[in-house]
C-alpha cells in the first residue's frame, strides 16, 4: 500500500503474473496481466507499491526469476527474466522464493536466494547464495551475485534508507549478521564484514523503521529454564550495536515478533512457556535506541505494524465478535479495543497459512490490508484497516 490509498495483490498464472487492484472495501478490481516470455512455470510471486503508483512485481519463473516495473495506469511491460547460470543450474540449484523488491527515487532493487529445492516435503535445504538485480525504474535491470555462504543464508531482508538508498541484511552460517548498502542506482555493494549475534539460539528476524534503523531480533538461552528476547540495531547500514534485552522469557519462545516504525518506535510481543514464570502473551513498546519500558498484555495470534508517525497498531480476531484494533501514539498507553470488522467467513482464521501467511500490507500513514487463509481450501480473504 502507499499513502495515496492504492493497494495491489498478485498471483501467478500460465505465462503471466496477474496483478489485482484492491478497493477501499478490500474487494479485488479488474486485473492487469504482466506477460512472461517463454514457457516456464510461474511459482511464488511478490509485489511492492511505491509512491505515486510506482509498482514492481517479481516471480519465480522457470529456472530463474522474472521482474517488471511500471506506473499504475500504464500498460505493464513484458517481464524481464533472469535465468540461472549454466554452472548453477548444473548443480541443481534454483530460486527458492519470489524476489524481495524495493523502489527507490529512480531505481529498483531486487533480492532473491538460490539453493537446493526440497526433494521431499519433510526435507529442507537452506539457501547458500543471494542474487540481486538493479537498475532504473521501468527499464531493463542488471543482475549479479551478491553473496555466497559456505553453509547457509537465513532470513534476507531488503529496505530503503530515508534518502532512498537500498540496504539489505541477512544472517549466514549460524550467527553471522551482515548488512550492505548501495547508491541510488539500486546496486548493493559486496561485503566481507560480519558480526556475531552473541548467544543466538533462535532467529526472530529483521525489521526497519523510517529513520534508517535496521533491527535484528533473536532468542538466547541464559539457563535451562529461562531465555531472553534480544535485539541489535544498525543505522544507515553501519555496524550493529551490542545486543539489548527486551525481556526475560521462559525456556521456550513462541510467536515472537518485533516491529520497528516511525518516530524510532519498537514494538515486541511473544508467547512462551516456563515452569517458574508466568510469561504468556506479553508485549513491550519503546524506542529503537533505548529500553522498551512500557509493558502490556497482548492477544492471541495478533498482527501488528507501526506507521511513519510512530502510531503502533495491534490487530486481533475473536471468533464471537470479529476483528479488533488497539493503538498507541508515541509515548502513550494502548487504547481500549475498537472493533472494525465483523466475524470472518466460516473457515477463515489468522495464521491458518502457517509460515507462508503474508504479513499485513501497510502504508506509511497507517492503513493496512490483512490476509486470512481458509483452513480447508487455502483461499485467502482480505480485510482493509483504516485508522
Q: Is 264 helix (H, G, I), strand (E, B) or coil?
A: helix
**What is residue 215's predicted lDDT score, i.e. its pLDDT?**
96
| Strand ordering across the sheet containing 8-13 | 8-13, 16-21, 32-35
What HEC string does 122-149 produce? CCCCCCCEEEEEEEECCCCCEEEEEEEC
- pLDDT tens digits, one per residue of 204-231: 899 999 999 999 999 888 877 778 889 9
List C-alpha distances in Å: 68 to 36, 134, 249, 300.
Answer: 10, 11, 44, 38
Can you give the pLDDT at residue 105? 93
Distances (CA, A) of 300 to 228, 321, 324: 21, 14, 12
Kindly report the number of other CB atoms within 10 A of residue 378's CB atom.
10
Q: How confident is the model at residue 279, as a pLDDT?
A: 44
- Torsion angles phi and psi, residue 354, rounded to 5: 65, -140
Domain ranges of the chain: 1-196
Count of C-beta atoms within a 10 Å radius of residue 367? 22
Query: Does pLDDT of 327 surpass 90?
Result: yes
Confidence band of 233 (pLDDT split at 50, 70, 90): very high
Distances (CA, A) of 8 to 102, 111, 318, 368: 15, 20, 27, 12
Sign of the CA dihedral running 268, 177, 112, 142: positive
Alpha carbon distance 143, 29 (integer Å): 33
User: What is the structure's pLDDT at 352?
Assistant: 47
Residue 197 forms beta bridges with which residues? Answer: none
Whether the pLDDT of residue 356 is over 60: the answer is: no
Residue 135 confidence (pLDDT): 97
CB 361, CB 380: distance < 8 Å = no
Compute how many other C-beta atoms are within 10 angstroms of the C-beta atom of residue 356: 8
- Measured between its terminal Cα atoms, the distance across the chain in Å is 14
Q: Is the pLDDT of residue 39 over 60?
A: yes
pLDDT surpassing 50 at residue 47: yes
At 282 the pLDDT is: 74
Q: Quick one: which of 118, 12, 106 has its CA closest to 52?
A: 106
Q: What is the pLDDT of residue 119?
A: 60
Identify the pLDDT of residue 163.
92
How crowded is residue 331: how many other Cβ atoms within 10 Å of its Cβ? Answer: 12
Bridge partners of 310? none
State the average pLDDT over residues 13-23. 89
pLDDT exceeds 60 at position 120: no
Do residues 306 and 267 lie in contact, with contact meaning Cβ atoms separated by under 8 Å?
yes
320/141: higher pLDDT: 141
Grid coordinates standing for 66? Answer: 522474472
pLDDT value for 272? 57
Instruction: For residue 72, give the DSSP letter.
Output: B
> What would the pLDDT profile of 146-167 be if each residue is shown by its tens digit?
998 888 888 899 999 999 999 9
In the predicted structure, residue 274 carries a pLDDT above the cut 60: no
What is the Cα–Cα distance from 7 to 293, expressed in whole angstroms?
A: 35
pLDDT of residue 115 exceeding 90? no
Percent of all residues in the chain with a pLDDT value above 90, rounded to a whole number: 42
Count Cα neighbours of 4 within 13 Å in the Cβ-side half-sphere. Answer: 10
- Check if CATH label 3.30.200.20 holds for domain 1-196: no
DSSP, res 119: S
pLDDT > 70 fraction of the chain, expressed in percent and rounded: 88
CA distances from 37 to 15, 34, 43, 118, 170 (A): 7, 10, 15, 26, 31
Work out the average pLDDT over 257-268.
Answer: 92
pLDDT in tens, 52-87: 889 999 999 988 999 999 999 899 999 999 998 777
The upper half-sphere exposure of residue 279, i.e. CA atoms within 13 Å in the direction of its Cβ, equals 25
**Cell match 507501526: residue?**
306
Residue 331 or 68, more confident: 68
Residue 38, Ramachandran bin (φ over 0: left; ψ between -120 and 50: alpha; else beta): left
For residue 182, the model assigns a pLDDT of: 93
Tell me which residue of 1, 45, 25 sits closest to 382, measured CA to CA.
25
Q: What is the pLDDT of residue 25?
A: 65
The rounded Cα 299 to chain-centroid distance in angstroms is 21
Q: Outline where DSSP puts E strands in 161-209.
A: 166-172, 176-181, 195-196, 202-208
Amino acid at each position: 500500500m502507499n499513502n495515496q490509498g492504492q493497494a495491489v495483490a498478485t498471483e501467478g498464472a500460465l505465462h503471466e503474473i496477474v496483478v489485482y487492484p484492491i478497493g477501499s472495501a478490500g474487494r479485488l478490481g479488474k486485473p492487469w496481466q504482466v506477460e512472461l516470455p517463454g514457457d516456464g512455470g510461474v511459482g511464488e510471486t511478490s509485489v511492492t507499491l511505491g509512491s505515486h503508483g510506482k509498482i514492481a512485481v517479481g516471480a519465480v519463473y522457470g529456472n530463474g526469476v522474472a521482474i517488471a516495473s511500471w506506473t499504475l495506469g500504464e500498460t505493464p511491460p513484458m517481464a524481464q527474466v533472469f535465468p540461472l547460470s549454466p554452472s548453477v543450474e548444473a548443480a541443481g540449484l534454483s530460486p527458492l522464493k519470489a524476489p524481495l523488491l524495493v523502489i527507490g527515487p529512480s531505481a529498483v532493487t531486487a533480492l532473491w536466494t538460490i539453493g537446493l529445492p526440497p526433494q521431499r516435503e519433510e526435507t529442507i535445504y537452506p539457501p547458500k547464495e543471494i542474487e540481486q538485480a538493479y537498475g532504473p525504474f521501468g527499464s531493463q535491470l542488471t543482475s549479479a551475485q551478491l553473496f555466497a555462504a559456505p553453509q547457509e543464508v537465513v532470513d534476507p531482508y531488503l529496505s530503503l534508507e530515508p534518502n532512498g538508498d537500498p540496504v539489505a541484511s541477512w544472517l549466514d552460517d549460524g550467527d553471522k549478521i551482515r548488512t550492505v548498502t548501495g547508491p541510488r542506482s539500486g546496486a548493493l555493494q559486496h561485503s566481507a564484514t560480519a558480526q556475531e549475534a552473541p548467544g543466538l539460539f533462535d532467529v526472530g528476524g529483521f525489521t526497519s523503521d523510517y529513520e534508517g534503523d535496521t533491527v535484528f531480533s533473536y532468542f538466547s538461552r541464559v539457563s535451562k529454564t529461562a531465555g531472553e528476547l534480544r535485539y541489535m540495531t544498525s543505522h544507515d547500514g553501519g555496524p550493529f550495536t551490542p545486543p539489548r534485552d527486551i525481556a526475560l522469557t521462559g525456556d521456550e519462545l513462541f510467536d515472537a515478533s518485533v516491529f520497528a516504525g516511525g518516530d524510532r518506535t519498537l514494538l515486541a510481543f511473544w508467547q512462551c512457556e516456563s515452569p517458574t514464570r508466568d510469561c504468556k502473551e506479553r508485549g513491550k513498546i519503546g524506542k529503537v535506541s533505548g529500553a522498551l519500558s512500557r509493558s502490556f498484555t497482548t492477544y492471541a495470534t495478533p498482527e501488528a505494524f507501526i506507521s511513519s508517525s510512530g502510531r503502533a497498531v495491534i490487530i486481533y480476531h475473536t471468533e464471537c465478535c470479529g476483528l479488533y484494533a488497539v493503538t498507541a501514539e508515541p509515548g502513550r498507553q494502548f487504547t481500549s479495543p475498537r472493533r472494525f470488522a465483523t466475524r470472518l467467513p466460516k473457515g477463515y482464521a489468522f495464521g491458518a497459512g502457517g509460515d507462508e501467511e503474508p504479513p499485513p500490507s501497510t502504508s506509511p500513514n497507517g492503513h493496512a490490508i490483512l490476509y486470512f487463509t481458509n483452513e480447508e481450501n487455502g483461499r485467502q480473504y482480505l480485510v482493509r484497516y483504516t485508522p
